[in-house]
């Protein structure tokens, strides 16, 4: 079992849900990435998703695309990202997963990339541009390495295909909330909770919702339907201010925002979340 499997088993046993912040690695630099990971973990995040900068993201909106561009302009590579994670992961009490293009994995070599990621403390991979039909070789390597391989399901995915994707996934399933790209939204589809509830009836894997979640009210609404919630653009937008502003202030603001979302998630659950948040802080 990967650390992601163990985490969700523990959360389910205690009736809790996971908040998963997304952070672009290397924006504004990798030292700040490490600071952010420590901050959001201390604020109660259950696990963290780290975006590996890529020049041609297929599902990311302008906020995350621009953050990737800033990191690439600083010559941040996947090797640099994994080196950063290898230094910070042992100090965190939460698992790390990476959002990474299959082009990067393939170019490095599947065995080599997974081995390097595992040594760096990465517990799971999310590879959004890898079709499930072509995922077998990488999935086999990940299973041997106890690294989760998460696939995405969208609102336009047929139920037959969704079941195939669920069967091929490990760790958790990433359910895309809206048709389109990442980005903050004021409203989410009214049928979203029902779609996720239906999916959960067909798989034992945890289902985490991402894309568009940016407010505490979103968290409160979706918490009963999902096992976890992923928040990206709302955090990455705040990260952009660190390049030219007060880095410490921005770090604190992001931490407070994550803490607000964790509190909303806990309030929508069974009330055990305050202990989790305190435990996360004491672990740092």
> What's the gap between Cα 116 and its chain centre?
19
Q: Could you count the other beta carbons within 10 Å of the beta carbon of residue 166?
A: 19
Cα 229-230-231 angle, rounded to 5 deg: 120
Query: For residue range 227-265, what is the model confidence (pLDDT) as tens digits?
Result: 999 998 899 999 988 877 789 999 999 999 999 999 999
Using CA atoms in the order 77, 79, 80, 84, what is the torsion angle rounded to 10 degrees? 140
The confidence band for 201, taking pLDDT boundaries of 50, 70 and 90, is confident
Q: Could you count the other beta carbons within 10 Å of the beta carbon of residue 57?
A: 18
pTM of the predicted protein model: 0.89
Q: What is the mean pLDDT of residues 108-112?
A: 98
The whole-angstrom separation of Cα 196 and Cα 178 is 12
pLDDT recorded at residue 56:
86
Mean pLDDT of the chain: 88
Least confident range of 151-160, 189-198, 217-226: 189-198
The whole-angstrom separation of Cα 180 and Cα 167 is 24
| CA-based torsion, 198, 258, 60, 71: positive or negative | negative
Q: What is the mean pLDDT of residues 92-109?
A: 97
The whole-angstrom separation of Cα 187 and Cα 215 is 10
Q: CB of 126 within 8 A of CB of 98?
A: yes
Quickly tell me which residue has 């004021």 as its tokens: 186
Task: Provide the phi-psi class of 83: left if phi over 0, else alpha when psi is between -120 and 50, else beta.
Answer: alpha
Is the per-residue pLDDT at 181 higher than 50? no
Q: Which tokens belong to 77? A: 């590579």
Q: Which tokens belong to 63? A: 């906020």
Is the per-residue pLDDT at 19 higher than 60? yes
Choosing among 3.10.620.30, 3.20.20.370, 1.10.1040.10, 3.20.20.70, the CATH entry for 3-282 is: 3.20.20.70
Catalytically active residues, by annotation: 49, 60
pLDDT recorded at residue 208:
95
Domain range summary for the chain, segments of one domain joined by +: 3-282
Is the per-residue pLDDT at 169 higher than 60? yes
Query: For residue range 40-81, what is the model confidence (pLDDT) as tens digits?
Result: 999 999 999 999 999 987 767 788 899 999 999 999 999 999
Q: What is the 3-state secondary structure (H, E, C) of the chain?
A: CCHHHHHHHHHHHHCCCEEEEEEECCCCCHHHHHHHHHHHHHCCCCCEEEECCCCCCCCCCHHHHHHHHHHHHCCCCHHHHHHHHHHHHHHCCCCEEEECCHHHHHHHCHHHHHHHHHHCCEEEEECCCCCHHHCHHHHHHHHHCCCEEECEECCCCCHHHHHHHHHHCCCCEEEECCCCCCCCCCCCCCCHHHHHHHHHCCCCCCEEEECCCCCHHHHHHHCCCCCEEEECHHHHHHHHHHHCCCHHHHHHHHHHHHHHHHHHHHHCCCCCHHHHHHHHHHCC
């Amino acid at each position: 079992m990967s650390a992601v499997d163990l985490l969700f088993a523990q959360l389910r046993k205690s009736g809790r849900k996971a908040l998963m912040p997304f952070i672009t690695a290397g924006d504004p630099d990798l030292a700040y990435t490490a600071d952010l990971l420590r901050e959001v973990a201390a604020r109660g995040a259950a696990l963290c998703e780290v975006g590996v900068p890529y020049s041609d993201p297929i599902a990311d909106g302008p906020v995350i695309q621009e953050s990737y561009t800033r990191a690439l302009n600083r010559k941040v590579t996947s090797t640099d990202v994994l080196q950063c994670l290898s230094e910070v992961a042992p100090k965190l009490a939460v698992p790390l997963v990476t959002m990474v293009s299959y082009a990067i994995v393939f170019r490095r070599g599947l065995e080599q990339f997974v081995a390097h990621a595992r040594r760096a403390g990465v517990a799971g991979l999310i590879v959004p541009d890898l079709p499930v039909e072509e995922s077998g070789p990488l999935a086999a390597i990940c299973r041997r390495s106890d690294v989760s391989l998460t696939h995405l399901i969208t609102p336009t995915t047929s139920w037959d295909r969704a079941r195939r994707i669920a069967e091929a996934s490990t760790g958790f399933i990433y359910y895309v909330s809206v048709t389109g790209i990442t980005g903050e939204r004021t409203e989410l589809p009214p049928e979203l909770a029902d779609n996720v509830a239906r999916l959960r009836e067909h798989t034992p894997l945890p289902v985490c919702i991402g894309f568009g979640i940016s407010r505490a009210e979103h968290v409160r609404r979706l918490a009963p339907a999902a096992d976890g919630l992923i928040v990206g653009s709302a955090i990455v937008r705040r990260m952009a201010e660190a390049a030219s502003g007060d880095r410490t202030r921005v770090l604190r603001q992001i931490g407070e925002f994550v803490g607000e979302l964790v509190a909303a998630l806990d309030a929508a659950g069974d009330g055990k979340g305050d202990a989790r948040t305190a435990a996360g802080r004491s672990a740092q």
